[in-house]
Amino acid sequence: MLAVIGGLVTDAAFPQRSVWPLAILGVALLALALRRESARWGFVVGTVWGLSFFLVHIWWANEAVGVVPWVALSSAEAMMVGAFGAAWVWIRRWPPVRDRAVLAVPAFAIAWVAMEALRSAWPFGGFPWGRLAFSQTTGPLLRLASLGGTPLVSGLVAALGLTLAIGWWSLRRGMPGRGAVVLGVLVAVPLVSLAVPLDSRPEQGTTTVGIVQGNVSEPGLGAFDNAREVIGNHVAGTMELAQDHAGELDVVLWPENAADYDPRTDAQAAAEIDGAAQAVQAPILLGTQSYTFGADGKADARYNDYLRWDPGVGPVAVYAKQHPAPFAEYIPLRDVVRRFSSAVDLVTVDMKPGTGVGILPVDVDGRSVPFGIAICFEVAYDQIVADSVDAGAEVLVVPTNNASFGETPESEQQLAMSVFRAVEHGRAVVQVSTVGVSGVITPNGVVTQRTELFTAAATTAELPLRTSLTPATTLAPVLTWLAYGGAVLLVLIGVVTHPRRRSRTASGRTTSGRTSSGRTTSGRTTGGRNERGARVRARAEGDVRV
C-alpha cells in the first residue's frame, strides 16, 4: 500500500498539480516500503510503485495510441523502478551503508540516478518521461539544474526522500534529536538552493521572434488527416502577425507537423508558406516531413524535419529529428507487436533518425545566430539539447505537435521540461505547439507567455541571446556516468559483503552444541537463541538504521 500511495503522490508533484515537495514524500514512501530484506520483494515493491506512478503520469499514451501501448510502456518503466528496488536491497546489505545514514543517502541517490539514466537510454533509445528532476520546475531545486542538470536534481530529490524516511524511522524509535537533524536538512537544502545565481541577461543582444499556434479542428489522430487545414491555420496566424509586425521580426516559429505537405515537393504548400513569409518579411521555421523511396517507387523511410524557409527563396536549412519515438513514429519488432495491437499498422512508413545536431541558423542584425532545435519528445533527452548548446545555440526552440493527446497533462509536462532546459543551459526557450501548450521561457526558468490548449494564437517575444555555458552543460554527462559506475560498484560490494552466509555458519555451530535440555554447550539457553532470532527477524524485515 505504501508503494501504491508513493507512486500516486509522486505524480502529484508534476504538472498539472505541480506540488513539488510531494516528489520527496513519494520517494520517502517508496523507501519505507522497501524495508524488507529481500531483493525479490524489493523488485515487487519498486514495480508496484512504478505502476501506480506511470499508469497515471503517462495516461496521455492511452489517449494517443490506446490501452495496450499505454499499459506496456507503463509496465516497462515500472520494472526499471523494480530493478532499482532490488538493487537498493543489495546495496544496503553492505554494513556501512546499512548502519550510517551519511553513506546510505548518497548511495540511494546514486542508484536512483543510474536507474533513471538507464531507462532514459534503453530499450529502443529509452523514455525519460517522469524523471524526478522534471517535477521540480516550480520549486527552489530548479536552480540547481544549472549546476548539474537532471542527474543532480533527480539525485537530490531521491536523497531528500530517503532522508525524510530516516527522519520518520528516527521519531518512531524515540530519537527526536535525529529527527530534528533530518527536518533541518529538509528545510536547509531548498533554502540554500535559492542562493544559486541564475543569469538571464543578453550576452549577444536580443532576437525578436513571432510564434504561431495554428490549432486544429479535429483533435487526436484526425489532425493528420487535415494537413491542408493545419497549414492554412498557421498561414493565417502569420498573416495576423504581418498586420502589426511586418519587417520587425527576425524569424517566425511554427510547430512540428505545421506543414505535413512538404513545401519542398508540394507546390500548393510552397505557395502558401512563401506568401506568408513575404507578408511578414521574415523567414519561417516550420515542421514538415520528407520521404525516401525505394526502387519500386514506394516510400521506404520518412524524416521529421524542421525547415527554415526564406521569403522569396524557399528552403535554405533543415534539421531532421534525431530521436524518433518508438512505437509511435516507427515500430520496432513490428510483426511481434502486431499480435498485441493492430494500431501498429497506422504507422505505414517508419521514421528514420536524422544525423545532424539540432541547429538552424537565423540572421539577426547581420549576424548568423544558431537556434537550437529539439523536436517534441527530444526535449526530454539530456544529450540532444546539450549537443545543440555545445554547437553554439544561443536560444532554444521546441517545436511540438500535441494534437494526439487531447486534454491530458502531456503538453504541460513537456513545457515543464522546456523550463528545466532553460535553466540547465542558461538559454531562452520557446515551446511552440500546433494546439498548445506553447510558451516563452526566460533563461532563469520564468514562463513569461503561455497559450491554452486547442486555441489559435499568434504572438511575439524578444529573447536574450546567450553564449556562456553553465556547469551543467558539460558536467551532467559526467555525473550520469559516475552514477552508472557507482551503482554497479555498490551492488557488487553489497553482494560480496552480504553477511547471510556467515550468519548461517554461526547458526549451524550453535545448533550443534545444543543439549537435550535446551542448553548449549556454552551454557546459553533457548531463550537466548530466541532473542537472537528476534533480532535476525527484525533485520530481515528491514528494522535497520536506514
Q: Which residues are catalytic?
A: 256, 321, 376
Question: Locate cell 497549414: which residue?
Answer: 231
Coil, strand, or helix at residue 214?
Answer: coil
Size of the chain, expressed as the number of residues it contains: 546
Alpha helices per DSSP H over 194-311: 227-245, 267-280
Q: Which residue has the cell 520521404?
A: 291
Sequence-distant (≥ 6) Cβ neighbours of residue 393 within 8 angstroms: 358, 359, 370, 371, 372, 427
Which residues, 6+ apart, have CB-to-CB distance to 464 below 8 Å? 200, 201, 202, 203, 206, 395, 428, 442, 443
The neighbour count for residue 525, using CB atoms within 10 Å, is 12
Phi/psi for 406 (5° steps) reads 60, -140
- How would you classify residue 501: left for phi > 0, otherwise alpha for psi between -120 and 50, otherwise beta? alpha
Distance CA 527, CA 315 (A): 86
Q: How far is CA 25 from the centre of its chain?
A: 19
Q: Distances from the Cα of 19 to the Cαs of 3, 9, 85, 141, 490, in angstroms?
A: 19, 9, 25, 13, 32
Residue 163 CA to its chain's centroid (Å): 23
* Collapsed DSSP state (helix, strand, coil) of residue 355: coil
Tell me how crowded residue 181 is: count the other CB atoms within 10 A of its CB: 16
